[in-house]
Amino acid sequence: MTNATSIASGNPSEEDRILDALVIGAGFAGLYQLYCLRERLGLSVQVLEAGAGVGGTWYWNRYPGARCDSESHSYCYSFSEELTREWQWSERYPGPAEILRYLNHVADRFDLKRDIRFNTRVTAAHYDQERNIWHVSTGSGDQLKARFLITAVGCLSSANVPKLPGLASFEGDWYHTGQWPHAGVDFSGKRVGQVGTGSTGIQAAPVIAETADHLTVFQRTANYSVPARNAPLTAEFQQYVKDNAAQIRELTRTNTNGHPFHISERLVSDTTPQERLALYEAAWERGGLQFRATFQDLLIDKTANDTAAQFIKNKIRSIVKDSATAAILADIDHPYAAKRPPIDTDYFETFNRDNVALVDLRATPIEEITPRGVRTSDKEYPLDIIVFATGFDAMTGPLLGIDIRGRNGLRLADAWQAGPRNYLGLQVAGFPNLFTITGPGSPSVLCNMPVAIEQHAEWITDCIAHMHNHDLQRIEPNPEAMDAWVEQVNAAADATLLPQATHSWYLGEHVPGKPRVFMPYAGGMLHYRRICDKVAANNYEGFELSK
C-alpha cells in the first residue's frame, strides 16, 4: 500500500502552477491512475482527454457488433469492494454502451471528472531538465506543467486507415471502425464494403449484413474465430460474482493472462485424438477466449497448435455452405492464437446469407478506390459505404502521435526509430519521470486489460510515493537495464509461436514503415508482476533515482 501523505504543490496561479502529475487519457487506465495519485497520495493531478467523455477505447469504438472479448465480471476494476458489489453487468461480454455506463459510474462515484479536461488533445510533451518538469501542450493551445507525466493513451487508439490510392475520390461514405460516428451509420438499402477481418471486422460483418442491402467482405488474411456465446447473465451468476469477488480478483491477478480462468496444465500429447476432439468440442460450445486454454502447449508447440487449427478449419468448412467461400475463409496461414484470436457471433454463418460475398485479396489485391467503389486486380465493386476494419498503429502509435521529447531534446520517435525500447514497459532512458501505462514491453494486450492497468497504475503510485518518502525528484531507467529488458521481451516472444503470425499488429506489420518488432511482453502477467515487485523491493533496481 502506498502512504496517504499529501505531497501536493501549494496553490499558485494557473499559469505558474506546476501540477504533481499530468495523465494523458481518461479510459480505464487514466481514471484509475487519477484515483490512485489523488486519493492515495493526495497529489495535484490533471487528466487530459481528447474525447468529450470518459471511456478511451470504448468512447471511440462504437462500430456495429462491438463487444469486449473479456468476460464482463473480469473486465472491470477490482480495487474497490463497494464498487464491485454495487455494479451489475447484464451480459457475458459487455458492449460499448454498458462499458461507458460503467466508466461514467466509476468517474462519478469517485468524483474524478473534476480533474479531467475533456476535448483536449495533447500534441507535445517536452522535458525541461533544468527545472525537472514536463511542459505539455494541447491542440487548443494550452500549456501545462507537471513533475510527472503519465501516458494512459491505450494500446489500440491510433486508427490505421490504409493509404489506398483514390480514397479521396470516393463518392460514397467511408468510416474507420475505431472512429465510429456516435450517431451511428444507417446501412439500410446500401451496398457496403468492409475491408479487414480481424477481431473488429469479424464482429462487425454479421451486424452490418443484417441491415445492408449487400455486404462485400474484403479479406486479406484469413482468420480463426471461435463463437463468443454471448448471453444475458443469469441472476445466479450475478450473485456468484458478488459472493466470490475476492476469489475472482485473486484468480485474475495470479494467472498468466488476467482472465478469470486458468490455462489447462494438460498437453495435447497427453490425449488421444478422440479425447482431444471431445475437449475442443466442449470448448467450442462453451465459447470465448477459454478455447485457447484447452491445452497448456497450444502457444508453444506447433504440432500441438496444429490440432486446434485443424479443428477450427473443419468447423469453418462445416458451417459455410459454399465450398469455394469456405476454402478462402479456412485458408489460414498462421498458428491459432498467434494473432489475437477473435471471438464472434455468427461470423462464418454470415457467409451463408444471400446478401454477403467474400473477396480474397490475396488472389485479387485492392488496386485503388474509385469514385464508385473498390477496384481489385479482378474487377470494380460498386459501393455506397466502405467500412475500414483495418486496425490500429498499435502500442507505439498513440505515444509517437505526441511530440514527446526528453533530456537534451531527444525525441521519443528517434529513440524508438528501430522499435520501442524501454524498461519493464514503464519507462524510457532519457525521459525522466515519464511513465507509460501498458506501454510496449509490458503484457498489456496479451492480458485482460483492466488487470494489466491496475498493476501498472499501482506500481507507478507506489514508486512516486517511494520517491516522496526518500526525497527523490527524478527517476529513469539506466540504459543497461533497458537493453536487458528488451532482450527479455524478445526472448519471451521467441519462446512462443506468436512471432510466427507475420501479419500481426503485435509486430506492427500492416503499418507501412513501422519497424517489425514484437511489442508486448509474452512472459505472462503473473511472471511480469513478480518481476516488477522484485524491482521495487530491491530499491528500484535498474532505475536511476536522484534528487
Residues at the interface with ligand NAP (CB under 6 A) = 67-69, 156, 162, 195-201, 203, 220-221, 340, 361, 366, 389-392, 445, 503, 505, 510
CB atoms within 10 A of CB 295: 25
Decide if 136 contacts 14 (C-beta within 8 A): no
Terminal alpha carbon distance of the chain: 23
Shortest spacing between CB 79 and ligand NAP, in angstroms: 22
Nearer Cβ to ligand NAP (198/397):
198
Rounded-to-integer distance, Cα 498 and Cα 501, Å = 6
DSSP-derived pairing of the beta strands 434-436 and 143-151? parallel
Q: Phi and psi for 321 in degrees, rounded to 5? A: -75, -40
Shortest spacing between CB 340 and ligand NAP, in angstroms: 3
Shortest spacing between CB 426 and ligand NAP, in angstroms: 21
In 413-525, beta strands by DSSP E: 434-436, 474-477
Shortest spacing between CB 271 and ligand NAP, in angstroms: 29
Rounded-to-integer distance, Cα 276 and Cα 131, Å = 63
Shortest spacing between CB 322 and ligand NAP, in angstroms: 20
In 202-323, beta strands by DSSP E: 214-219, 226-227
Nearer Cβ to ligand NAP (420/508):
508
Smallest CA-to-CA distance from 212 within 189, 195, 196 is with 189
Shortest spacing between CB 363 and ligand NAP, in angstroms: 13
Shortest spacing between CB 357 and ligand NAP, in angstroms: 16
Decide if 226 contacts 291 (C-beta within 8 A): yes
Nearer Cβ to ligand NAP (163/547):
163
Shortest spacing between CB 184 and ligand NAP, in angstroms: 17
Shortest spacing between CB 367 and ligand NAP, in angstroms: 11
Answer positive or negative: Cα dihedral of 366, 225, 512, 172.
Answer: positive
Rounded-to-integer distance, Cα 473 and Cα 429, Å = 16
Q: Phi and psi for 370 in degrees, rounded to 5? A: -105, 170
Nearer Cβ to ligand NAP (146/204):
204
Residue nearest to ligand NAP (CB): 198
Shortest spacing between CB 221 and ligand NAP, in angstroms: 3
Give me 194's grid cell.
Answer: 468492409
Nearer Cβ to ligand NAP (346/476):
346
User: CA of 132: how far to CAs of 123, 147, 180, in Å?
Assistant: 20, 7, 39
Nearer Cβ to ligand NAP (35/75):
75
Nearer Cβ to ligand NAP (528/540):
528
DSSP-derived pairing of the beta strands 226-227 and 343-344? parallel
Nearer Cβ to ligand NAP (220/529):
220
Supply the Cα-derived Rg of the chain in whole angstroms: 24
Nearer Cβ to ligand NAP (84/197):
197
In 303-372, beta strands by DSSP E: 343-344, 356-360, 366-369
The position carrying cell 446500401 is 190
Decide if 146 contacts 20 (C-beta within 8 A): yes
Nearer Cβ to ligand NAP (423/505):
505
